[in-house]
Amino acid sequence: MKKPLVVIVRNIPKQGLEELYKHCRVIMHKDSTPPTRAQLLSYAKKADAIVTVLTEKVDAELFAAGKNLKIVANYAVGYDNMDVLAAHRAGVYVTNTPGDLGASVAEHAMGMILVLSKKMLQGDSFIRANKYKAWDPNLLLGNDVRGKTLGIIGVGNIGSALVKIAQGGFGMKILYHDIIRNKKIEQEHQAKRVSLSDLLKASDAVSVHVPLLPATRHLISAKKLNMMKKTAVLVNTARGPIVDEKALVRVLRANSIAGAGLDVFEFEPKTAPGLSKLPNVVLTPHIASATVEARTQMGEIASQNIQDVLIRNKKPRNALEA
């Protein structure tokens, strides 16, 4: 019997995909750049399953092209690139890779908070410019994070992992804003649920961990940014358009907040004009989950979802509901 065909539309790490290669015919996109739309549709036409990442638009057109397509496994926790309702109408399963990836992203967010608070970026530039001549007690004074207030917007898997790191490891006080109350972090980490406005006004660091939805686009607007303390920092490892990036540039230029750490961008892969020139910004190219451990787990989850459908003939364990 001919093995089902799986097309992985991006060049991704093979860790975690061993079982998929064992039970299916697998074709992987060779280039590091995303496939063109025409390439993506051609992949869908011949595959029983495809693995996508967040740069691929998974919509009704793709489902119509995929006559034999049974599942699209998104190699990501977020799935704002997928039209879940169109998938259900087409009778195609769509899945994501939740797992324990939250810890990897939360570590990245905490790292950005530390870099910004301790002025490590400025210190690195100072050394590289050969400006360091002698120890100076007034040089690049930063702030401790111990005992400071961290505001977390969204306490799902990633936000909750950050609570544990920040409160358990650094003794930070936790404020959170979420449409759903999280009693566990309240009881175990003394977190307090507050309005978004109160969180922004009271926090020394703010970290964003909500999905990109119509309601969260520009959730952090110019008005919201101006509510923050002048000494506060903003970190976004969620989705770029949640923050009004042009407004953020204006606020940072005016020194209305102390700094920002961005792993995602509103106009990704481009950044808002002037952002990369600012000295008080940490910028990373969407790598918050880029650890060997996280990528291996993502591969394992995507592989198991596909095998659920193609090999075990059952609903995938991470099926997304419309």
Q: Where are the domains of the chain?
A: 5-99+292-310, 102-283
Q: Measure the CA–CA gap between 125 and 140, rounded to whole angstroms.
A: 11
What CATH number should be reported for the domain whose range is 102-283? Answer: 3.40.50.720
Catalytic residue among 29, 209, 239, 295: 239
Output the tens digit of pLDDT for each of the chain's 322 residues: 789 999 999 999 999 999 999 999 999 999 888 999 999 999 999 999 999 999 999 999 999 999 999 999 999 988 999 999 999 999 999 999 987 778 999 999 999 999 999 999 999 999 999 999 999 999 999 999 999 999 999 999 999 999 999 999 999 999 999 999 999 999 999 999 999 999 999 999 999 999 999 999 999 999 999 999 999 999 999 999 999 999 999 999 999 999 999 999 999 999 999 999 999 999 999 999 999 999 999 999 999 999 999 999 999 999 999 8
Tokens of 10: 């991006």
Which CATH class, in words, describes the domain spanning 5-99+292-310? alpha beta
Q: Measure the CA–CA gap between 290 and 38, rounded to whole angstroms.
A: 28
Catalytic residue among 25, 217, 250, 286: 286
Asked if 40 contacts 82 with a C-beta cutoff of 8 angstroms, the reply is: no
The enclosing H or E element of 22 equals helix 18-23
Cα 40 to chain centroid distance, Å, stands at: 23
Amino acid sitting at position 156: G
Asked if 252 contacts 186 with a C-beta cutoff of 8 angstroms, the reply is: no
Q: Measure the CA–CA gap between 90 and 69, rounded to whole angstroms.
A: 10
Q: Measure the CA–CA gap between 189 and 239, rounded to whole angstroms.
A: 26
Is 239 designated active site?
yes
Number of C-alpha atoms within 13 angstroms, CB side, residue 197?
A: 1
Asked if 7 contacts 47 with a C-beta cutoff of 8 angstroms, the reply is: yes
- Classify the phi-psi angles of 171: left when phi > 0, otherwise alpha if psi is within -120 to 50, otherwise beta: left
Distance (Å) of CA 222 to CA 164, 244, 285: 30, 7, 24
Catalytic residue among 19, 186, 188, 268: 268
Q: Measure the CA–CA gap between 47 and 26, rounded to whole angstroms.
A: 10
User: Which residue has tokens 């609903």?
Assistant: 315
User: Which residue has tokens 């940072």?
Assistant: 252
Rounded to the nearest 10 degrees, how much is the dihedral formed by the CA atoms of 310, 96, 322, 6? Answer: -30
Q: Measure the CA–CA gap between 317 and 309, rounded to whole angstroms.
A: 9
User: Which residue has tokens 């995909």?
Assistant: 17
Q: Which of 9, 112, 19 minimizes the C-alpha distance to 306?
A: 19
User: Which residue has tokens 């109350």?
Assistant: 181
Q: Measure the CA–CA gap between 25 and 47, rounded to whole angstroms.
A: 10
Is 321 designated active site?
no
Rounded to the nearest 10 degrees, how much is the dihedral formed by the CA atoms of 59, 62, 67, 71? Answer: -60
Phi, psi of 110 (to 5 degrees): -65, -40
Predicted structure pTM score: 0.89
Q: What is the pLDDT of residue 238?
A: 96
Q: What is the pLDDT of residue 322?
A: 81
Q: Measure the CA–CA gap between 260 and 112, rounded to whole angstroms.
A: 8
